[in-house]
Amino acid sequence: MIRSVGIIGCGAVIQSSYTEALGKYDNIVVRYVYDLNKDLAIKVAKIFHAEVVEKHELLLKSDIIIIATPPSSHFELIKESLAQGKKIICEKPFVGTVKEAEDLIELARNKGAQLFVAHFRRYYPSVLLAQSLVESGVLGKISEIEVYEGGKFSWQTQSGYVYTDPYGGVLFDTGSHTIDMALFVSGLDKTQDFSVDIVDLSKDKLEPAHHVEAALKINAGTSKIDFKLKLSRRTILANKIRIKGENGHIDISVQLTNYVRLTGKNGKSTVLYSPNSYDYFYDCFASQFKEMFGDVENSIFSADRFRNLVNVLQVVSKD
């Protein structure tokens, strides 16, 4: 059965990643596009052989709605889309506050709609391998998490939101990916009793900030976990995530890889490889949609799996 897709937001991520990814699904056809910038909408419509329409028409006619607009517009657009009871895929970052996330999750439930967030790094072979290792208990109880991602910023956006949108800084942009990887690997994305306290926080400027350093305390049930965060668009950093437990730690690259480094309490380390790998970045990006298009039950991309990520982002983003 062919399902029609409507795209809201026709910027850089759609023109690069989504054009490659959606073409890999024979039963998915992009039929409608909408953007406030008509020229961008026309450009993307030509790529997909789709029709440029007004937003209300797209919401009514599409089976699946992809929202890829600047982050501060996500809440209202998702809310409008969910009212139609459709399947919604929101490009990361999800929303800016826990209340917004919870309101949308509840609305989706009430409308019988499906709401997903496209955090494709969860499908990195290294991330899935690390997640399975942590879940097996090899590290024991998690006590500390370190997150580092930084480099010279070069991503080109069509709207320039990364310099103007309060959710456009390094924290919500690449940082939402990195923090999500850490929460997913450690199982903290599923924790219901979850809160975050700031121990220390510094930024180069008010949001959208381009350099962020934070020391946090995550309260997850009865566990209290130290969470160290360093993100930058100006400085090259270690670009890795370290999950520490009572039995050792595991290191995961923030890049697309198929291996992790596991180190025991004795300091001896072993590199472990996933049997899965991707030769091409866009193959990994496309793979996340298997769960969304395939109606997988309890998908790791369901919006309720990102509530705790939004919590961290909200706390750290406060100026």
Beta-carbon-side half-sphere exposure of residue 25 (alpha carbons within 13 Å)? 25
What proportion of the chain, given as a percentage, has pLDDT over 90? 94
**Could you report the per-residue pLDDT of 156-172, keeping only the tens digit for each?**
666 677 888 899 999 99
Q: Is residue 319 classed exposed, middle or buried when 0-12, 13-18 and 19+ CB atoms within 10 A define those classes?
A: exposed
Helix (H, G, I), strand (E, B) or coil at 107: helix
- Kindly state whether residue 291 falls inside one of the protein's structural domains: yes
Q: What ranges make up the beta strands (E) of the chain?
A: 3-8, 28-34, 51-52, 64-67, 87-91, 114-118, 142-150, 194-203, 211-220, 223-232, 240-245, 248-253, 259-264, 269-273
Contact by Cβ (8 Å): 21, 30: no
Q: What is the pLDDT of residue 295?
A: 83
- Kindly state whether residue 4 falls inside one of the protein's structural domains: no
Q: Is the dihedral of CA 295, 12, 177, 122 positive or negative?
A: positive
Could you tell me the end-to-end alpha-carbon distance of the chain, in angstroms, rounded to an integer?
48
Helix (H, G, I), strand (E, B) or coil at 179: helix
Instruction: Look at the chain and report how many structural domains it folds into.
Output: 1
**Could you report the per-residue pLDDT of 10-66, keeping only the tens digit for each?**
999 999 999 999 999 999 999 999 999 999 999 999 999 999 999 999 999 999 999
- Kindly state whether residue 196 falls inside one of the protein's structural domains: yes
Q: Which residues contact 99 (CB under 8 A, 6 or more apart)?
A: none
C-alpha to C-alpha distance for 274 and 100, rounded to whole angstroms: 36
Provide the domain limits for residue 176. 122-317
The domain spanning residue 162 has which CATH number? Answer: 3.30.360.10
Phi, psi of 294, rounded to the nearest 5 degrees:
-90, 5
Tokens of 319: 């100026």
- Kindly state whether residue 161 falls inside one of the protein's structural domains: yes
- Kindly state whether residue 294 falls inside one of the protein's structural domains: yes
- Kindly state whether residue 298 falls inside one of the protein's structural domains: yes
| Averaged confidence pLDDT in the chain | 96
- Kindly state whether residue 201 falls inside one of the protein's structural domains: yes
**Could you report the per-residue pLDDT of 270-283, keeping only the tens digit for each?**
999 999 999 999 99
- Kindly state whether residue 83 falls inside one of the protein's structural domains: no
**Could you report the per-residue pLDDT of 141-150, keeping only the tens digit for each?**
999 999 999 9
